[in-house]
Amino acid sequence: MPTTLPDKTAIAELPLFEGLARQAVTVVATEAEAEAAYRALAAQAEIGFDTESKPTFSRGEASTGPHLLQFCTREHAWLFQSCRPETLAPALALIEAESPAKVGFGLRGDLAQLARRFEVTARGIVDLGQVLRAYGFSQEVGAKTAIALLFGQRLAKSKQVGTSNWAATQLADRQVLYAANDAYAALCVKHRLADFEPPKAQAARKGQRPRSRVRDVHVDDVPVLAALSGLPEALLAAEVRAAQAARTPWVVAVREGAVVGFARAHAQEAGTTLTLVPANTQTALARQLVQALFTRLARQGCPEVQLGATSSAHAALYARLGLEALDNGRWRKVFTAA
């Protein structure tokens, strides 16, 4: 990870961060939409979170916010307006729940306003400004700086939109995108940070080989996946999104912040199969990827998975993992009785 924060001049020259498009954002208008949003968000391990309030311009004027509550996954965002009180119960339930974790930047003021206006106690909050201190940054790091630091891109943050009327019943599209992508940027940063060890952990392992860790795939991994596999980026991007929508396991191995391999499951008529890339990966990395995928498949209730041994090393790996040898170089792992 870079150790120096980019300044405003450097950030201004970066390419634009691609956030959620307008069609991927729902401004919750009915109780049914609120319940559907709750179900989608509550199923996640962590979600992006932020609030917006109508600005105050007079000295001593008390804010009546928050007026907008934003939540998101990596695919969709939902905005809850305080002017629609009938929709707020699911949003407030999410805030008070320990899970999913709510990830955002500079949330202290947001939480104080939530407690004052709605009398809720927020739980499961992850403030990335505090998290980034563990990476050696003593000053407060906001979303725009973090996106520039970790992605080399510029998060669009218009002051005019940021100080607009968030209490309006009808929000403009530019407000919708601003609010949604504040939460989305936080979630992207949280996922990217997981690829790096904090300096203290690195120091504790000084002299040891760099560790690999396995996580679920992200769409922004696609350029590296294409380089590893030789497949077109457009094809892989579509397949990643389809896998996420269908909740089909797809994991990547990360070492020192770089993706070094991936494994994915395919649901086919003959059963679930697995692809491992690169095919000649070292045994330790292959074992880590395969075991992570097995864990996710078993958790989803998959009865079995079949793998093709593309090398003698893979065949030996599958044997050590207790897989059953089939014909034609295939191996099978049974999770439950078929």
What local confidence, expressed as pLDDT, does residue 26 receive? 98
DSSP code string of 244-295: HHHT--EEEEEETTEEEEEEEEEEETTEEEEEEESTT--HHHHHHHHHHHHH
DSSP code string of 34-93: HHHHHHHHHTSSEEEEEEE-----STTPPP----EEEEE-SS-EEEEETT-GGGHHHHHH
| Tens of pLDDT, residues 296-322 | 888 888 888 887 776 777 788 888 888
What local confidence, expressed as pLDDT, does residue 94 receive? 97
What local confidence, expressed as pLDDT, does residue 124 receive? 95
Residues 6+ apart with CB under 8 A from 86: 31, 34
CB contact at 8 A, 217 and 240: yes
What local confidence, expressed as pLDDT, does residue 123 receive? 95
Q: 208 vs 22, which has greater pLDDT? A: 22
CB contact at 8 A, 136 and 1: no
| Tens of pLDDT, residues 212-262 | 788 888 888 888 898 888 889 999 989 988 888 777 889 888 887 788 888
- Whole-number average pLDDT of the chain: 87
What local confidence, expressed as pLDDT, does residue 40 receive? 94
State mean pLDDT over 163-171.
95
| Tens of pLDDT, residues 113-151 | 999 999 999 999 999 988 998 888 888 899 999 999 999
What local confidence, expressed as pLDDT, does residue 281 receive? 60
Distance, first Cα to last Cα, the chain: 46
Chain position carrying tokens 């014909």: 327
d(CA 122, CA 290): 37
What local confidence, expressed as pLDDT, does residue 228 receive? 87
What local confidence, expressed as pLDDT, does residue 338 receive? 45
Residue 206 confidence class, pLDDT cut points 50, 70, 90:
low
What local confidence, expressed as pLDDT, does residue 316 receive? 83
Query: What's the per-residue H, E or C state across 195-251?
Result: CCCCHHHHHHCCCCCCCEEEEECCHHHHHHHHHHHCCCHHHHHHHHHHHHHHCCCEE
What local confidence, expressed as pLDDT, does residue 13 receive? 93
| Tens of pLDDT, residues 249-284 | 898 888 877 888 888 887 766 566 778 887 666 678
Which range, of 23-37, 99-113, 122-136, 207-221, averages the lowest pLDDT?
207-221
pLDDT of 285 strictly over 60 = yes
pLDDT of 167 strictly over 90 = yes
What local confidence, expressed as pLDDT, does residue 308 receive? 74
pLDDT of 337 strictly over 70 = no
Return the percentage of the chain with pLDDT > 70, whole number. Answer: 92
pLDDT of 202 strictly over 60 = no
| Tens of pLDDT, residues 69-83 | 999 998 999 999 999
